[in-house]
C-alpha cells in the first residue's frame, strides 16, 4: 500500500485485533480525507481515511487477518506500507509415497531453502510472511523427517525447520487451488533434486516441440501403430533389488504403464506383455507381441552390475544385426538420456536376449538406470522420475516412427 502525501511531519502505526486492522496516524497532514477504498487483495479488504484532528489524518487499513508489516518512508515523499503474506496453516503429508508440505496461505509463498548438515536439516524460510498459527516444535516419523519446528523467525520471515535422518530437498511450490499450495519434497540432495528438475523440464519441452511439428491435423501421431510394451520380470521374479529393497519389477511396471498412457494418448494401440505383478516367461513375451500384430517392441528394465553399486547410467540393448532395431535403439537412448540426464553408457547389439529371439519387428530393451547404485535407486523409485523416463522413451518412439515414416 502506498500513501501518496505531499508533506507530513511524522507517523505512528498501531496493529489492532478484532477486527484486524492497521491504523496509521499521519501528522502534519492537512486537507480533506480521500474516500474509502475497497481493495481486492489477499491481505487487505478496505482502506478508510478520516480526520483525527486538524493536524492528524488517520488511515485505517482493514485486514483479512492480523499480519506483519513494514513502514517504508519513500524518498520522493509519501509512505509505503508492505504487508506480509499470511500463513494460515502448514501440514506434512505423504501422498502415495511422495512427501509434501501443504500450505494454506494468502498468496503464493516465496520460499528460501537451506540445507544444513550436523544435524541434518532442511530450513524453509517463507519470505514476507506472518505465521497465523501457533509456533510448534514436534517429533514426527514421516519418511526421512524426524522432527519439525515452525515459528516466526523475524518480523518478515516464517521459518520451518525439518530435522532429517536422510537428505531431503524441496521442489518448487505448486498451486493446488486458490490459497492452497504444496511444496513437494525430493528424496535426495539438492543437487539430485536439481538434476531431476532439469530432466522434467526437458521432458516437458520435448513433446511441445514435437507436437507442433507432428500434429498438423490434430490426429494422434502414432495412430495406426501397435506397440508392445514389455515391463521386465514380474511375479516370482523380482529382477534386481536395490539397497532400499526396491524391486526392479515394480520400477519396470510403473515406467511401462506411464509409457503406455503416453502412447495411447498419441493414438497407438498398446499391448502390454504384463500390466500387473505377474510372472511371464521371457519366451512368451515376444509371442504376445507378435500375436497382437505389434509393429515395435520395447522392453523396460533397471540394471545391476555384478559388483553392486559400481556402475551407473543408461543403456539400450537391441537385436544385433538388425539395422531397424539399431536405429530404434540409438534414437530411444538419445531421447531417454536427454530426458533423465543419467550417464549415456551405450547402445549394444545382442543376439542372445530372449525377448529379441521370437520376433523380427524393431526391438529394444531399455536399461533406464542402475538400481544397485544407491543414487540411481533413489531416482528410479520416485514416481516423478519414472514419468520423465517414460516421456523420454516415448519421445524416442515418436522420433523413430517419424524418421522411419512408419
Partner 1 sequence: MKRERILAGLLLAALAVLAVRAIVGWPAHNGDAVPVALDVTEPFYPVYFSSRDTGLLEPEFHQGSATIEQVLADLLAGPKLEHLAGVIPADTVVLGYRLSGETLYVSFSHHLVTNHPGGSTGEILTVYAIVNSLTGIDGVERVQILVENQVVDTLAGHLNLQRALRKDYSALGSQVL
Residues that bind Zn ion (CB under 5 A): 232, 239, 301
Give me the least distance between CB of 260 and partner 1, in Å please.
20
Q: Name the residue nearer to partner 1 (CB basis): 192 or 367.
A: 367
Tell me how far apart the alpha carbons of residues 120 and 101 are, in angstroms, rounded to a whole number. Answer: 18
Q: Which of partner 1, Zn ion, none binds 305 (CB below 5-8 Å, type-dependent)?
A: partner 1
Note whether 50 binds partner 1 by CB under 8 A: no
Give me the least distance between CB of 393 and partner 1, in Å please.
16
Note whether 359 binds partner 1 by CB under 8 A: no
Q: Name the residue nearer to partner 1 (CB basis): 30 or 350.
A: 350
Q: List 38's β-bridge partners, or say none.
A: 46
Contact 15, 88 (CB under 8 A): no
Task: Tell me how many degrees the CA angle 318-386-394 measures, rounded to the nearest 5.
Answer: 50
Copy the grid coordinates of residue 123: 530450513
Q: By CB under 8 A, name the one of 248, 326, 376, 377 that touches partner 1.
A: 248
Q: By CB under 8 A, name the one of 101, 311, 336, 379 that touches partner 1.
A: 311
Q: List 75's β-bridge partners, or say none.
A: none
DSSP-assigned letter for residue 364? E
Tell me how far apart the alpha carbons of residues 101 and 94 are, in angstroms, rounded to a whole number. Answer: 9
Note whether 315 binds partner 1 by CB under 8 A: yes
Give me the least distance between CB of 240 and partner 1, in Å please.
3
Distances from the Cα of 23 to the Cα of 40, 61, 129, angstroms: 19, 6, 20
Q: Which of partner 1, Zn ion, none binds 348 (CB below 5-8 Å, type-dependent)?
A: partner 1
Residue 350 host element (H or E): strand 344-350
> What is the greatest pairwise CA distance in the chain?
96
Q: Choose one: 9-17, 38-46, 308-316, 394-402; the region binding partner 1 (CB under 8 A).
A: 308-316
Beta strands in 135-189 (DSSP E): 136-142, 145-154, 157-164, 169-170, 174-177, 180-186
Tell me how far apart the alpha carbons of residues 383 and 371 are, in angstroms, rounded to a whole number. Answer: 14
Note whether 239 binds partner 1 by CB under 8 A: yes
Contact 86, 65 (CB under 8 A): yes
Q: Choose one: 145-153, 178-186, 303-311, 326-334; the region binding partner 1 (CB under 8 A).
A: 303-311
Note whether 245 binds partner 1 by CB under 8 A: no
Note whether 237 binds partner 1 by CB under 8 A: yes
Note whether 229 binds partner 1 by CB under 8 A: no
- Contact residues for partner 1 (CB under 8 A)? 232-233, 237, 239-241, 248, 281-283, 301-308, 310-311, 315, 317, 348-350, 352-355, 357, 365, 367, 370-372
Amino acid at each position: 500500500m502506498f500513501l501518496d502525501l505531499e508533506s507530513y511531519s511524522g507517523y505512528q502505526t498501531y496493529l489492532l485485533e478484532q477486527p484486524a486492522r492497521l491504523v496509521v496516524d499521519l501528522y502534519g497532514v492537512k486537507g480533506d480525507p480521500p474516500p474509502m477504498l475497497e481493495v481486492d487483495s489477499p491481505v487487505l479488504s478496505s482502506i478508510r481515511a478520516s480526520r483525527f484532528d486538524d493536524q492528524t489524518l488517520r488511515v485505517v487499513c482493514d485486514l483479512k487477518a492480523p499480519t506483519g508489516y513494514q513502514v517504508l518512508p519513500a524518498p520522493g515523499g509519501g509512505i509505503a506500507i508492505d504487508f506480509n503474506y499470511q500463513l494460515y496453516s502448514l501440514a506434512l503429508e505423504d501422498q502415495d509415497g511422495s512427501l509434501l508440505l501443504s500450505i494454506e496461505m494468502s498468496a503464493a509463498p516465496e520460499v528460501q531453502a537451506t540445507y544444513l548438515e550436523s544435524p541434518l536439516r532442511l530450513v524453509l524460510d517463507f519470505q514476507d510472511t506472518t505465521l497465523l498459527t501457533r509456533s510448534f516444535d514436534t517429533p514426527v516419523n514421516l519418511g526421512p523427517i524426524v522432527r519439525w519446528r515452525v515459528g516466526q523467525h523475524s518480523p518478515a520471515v516464517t521459518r520451518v525447520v525439518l530435522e532429517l535422518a536422510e537428505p531431503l530437498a524441496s521442489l518448487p511450490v505448486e498451486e493446488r487451488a486458490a490459497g492452497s499450495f504444496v511444496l513437494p519434497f525430493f528424496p535426495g540432495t539438492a543437487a539430485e533434486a536439481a538434476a531431476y528438475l532439469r530432466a522434467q523440464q526437458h521432458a516437458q519441452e520435448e513433446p511441445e516441440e514435437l507436437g507442433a511439428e507432428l500434429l498438423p491435423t490434430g490426429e494422434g501421431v502414432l495412430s495406426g501403430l501397435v506397440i508392445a510394451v514389455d515391463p521386465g520380470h514380474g511375479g516370482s521374479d523380482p529382477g534386481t533389488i536395490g539397497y532400499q529393497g526396491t524391486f526392479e519389477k515394480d520400477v519396470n511396471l510403473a515406467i511401462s504403464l506411464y509409457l503406455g498412457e503416453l502412447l495411447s494418448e498419441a493414438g497407438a494401440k498398446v499391448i502390454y506383455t504384463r500390466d500387473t505383478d505377474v510372472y511371464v516367461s521371457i519366451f512368451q513375451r515376444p509371442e504376445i507381441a507378435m500375436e497382437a500384430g505389434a509393429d515395435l517392441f520395447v522392453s523396460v528394465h533397471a540394471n545391476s552390475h555384478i559388483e553392486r553399486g559400481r556402475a551407473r547410467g543408461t543403456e539400450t540393448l537391441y537385436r544385433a544385426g538388425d539395422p531397424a532395431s539399431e536405429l530404434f535403439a540409438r534414437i530411444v537412448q538419445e531421447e531417454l538420456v536427454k530426458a533423465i540426464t543419467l550417464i549415456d553408457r551405450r547402445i549394444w547389439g545382442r543376439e542372445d536376449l530372449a525377448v529379441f529371439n521370437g520376433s523380427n519387428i524393431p526391438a529394444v530393451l531399455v536399461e533406464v538406470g542402475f538400481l544397485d547404485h544407491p543414487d540411481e535407486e533413489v531416482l528410479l523409485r520416485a514416481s516423478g522420475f519414472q514419468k520423465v523416463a517414460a516421456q523420454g522413451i516415448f519421445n524416442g518412439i515418436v522420433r523413430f516412427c517419424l524418421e522411419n515414416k512408419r
